Amino acid sequence: MSVFESIVNFLKGGKHARGAENCVPGGHERERRVLHPVSSVCEQALSDFGGIRVLASACADERGRDTGSLSSDPVCRESRALIAAAKKVGCFIETKDVPGTRYTIRTGESEVRLVQKEGLYYKIKNPFAKLHLKRHPVEYVLFEHVIHNVLFPDCRLDFLGIAEDYHEARMVYRQKAVRSESRPDDKQIAECLGHMGLLSCGRYEFGNDFLFVTDVGQDGDNVLLDDDGAIRFIDPIIGFKPPLLPRLKGALASEDGVQAIVNDLYRI
- pLDDT for the residue numbered 2: 38
Count CA atoms closer than 13 A to 17's CA, side-chain side: 26
Residue 268 has pLDDT above 50, yes or no: no
Distance CA 131, CA 144 (A): 12
The residue that leads in pLDDT, 111 or 31, is: 111
Q: What is the pLDDT of residues 95-143, one digit of tens each?
A: 999 999 988 766 668 899 999 999 999 999 999 999 999 999 999 999 9
Residue 175 has pLDDT above 60, yes or no: yes
Distance CA 147, CA 126 (A): 17
In this structure, is residue 153 part of a structural domain?
yes
pTM of structure: 0.84
In this structure, is residue 258 part of a structural domain?
no
In this structure, is residue 184 part of a structural domain?
no
- Provide, rounded to the nearest whole percent, the portion of the chain with pLDDT above 70: 82
In this structure, is residue 264 part of a structural domain?
no
- pLDDT for the residue numbered 38: 75
* CB burial of residue 14 (10 Å; 0-12, 13-18, 19+): middle
Average pLDDT, whole number, for the chain? 85
In whole angstroms, how far apart are CA 171 and each of 87, 163, 175, 203?
A: 13, 6, 13, 27
Q: pLDDT band for 40, please (50, 70, 90 cuts).
A: confident
Q: What is the number of other CB atoms lying within 10 angstroms of the CB of residue 16?
A: 14
Structural domain boundaries enclosing 128: 52-178
Query: How many domains in the chain?
Result: 1
In this structure, is residue 15 part of a structural domain?
no
- pLDDT for the residue numbered 206: 97
